[in-house]
Amino acid sequence: DVKVTQSSRYLVKRTGEKVFLECVQDMDHENMFWYRQDPGLGLRLIYFSYDVKMKEKGDIPEGYSVSREKKERFSLILESASTNQTSMYLCASSLYGGLDGYTFGSGTRLTVV
């Protein structure tokens, strides 16, 4: 089975801190994604990457950046964390764009205080 592993399940950070959320997949998938999940808003795409070192903005990229130096790893960076970035963050990967659906990680619950 494909596995997508997010390094932290829960994270608490202070306002203004630089935050790194890490995601690793083990099945040689080309595409990786970062979504944010908030109650009543569903899942919203922050960034995705269709190849190593390639990245594209999603619907809500403001306040975030990403890094993909290796195929299996996709990092989400909050340059200066703010309280409105308190949320659940979901990483996903796929082989054929999204046509085969995504495989998701277990999520990171980030709280910014």
Partner 1 sequence: AQTVTQSQPEMSVQEAETVTLSCTYDTSENNYYLFWYKQPPSRQMILVIRQEAYKQQNATENRFSVNFQKAAKSFSLKISDSQLGDTAMYFCAFIRSGAGSYQLTFGKGTKLSVIP
Binding site for partner 1 (CB under 8 A): 31, 33, 40-43, 45, 48, 50, 56, 58, 88, 90, 92, 94, 97-107
Residue 11 main-chain phi, psi, to 5 deg: -145, 135
Cβ closer to partner 1: 9 or 70?
9
Region of 61 please: left (phi>0), alpha (psi -120 to 50) or beta: alpha
Query: Smallest distance from the beta carbon of 26 to partner 1, in angstroms?
Result: 15
Closer to partner 1 at the Cβ: 9 or 18?
A: 9
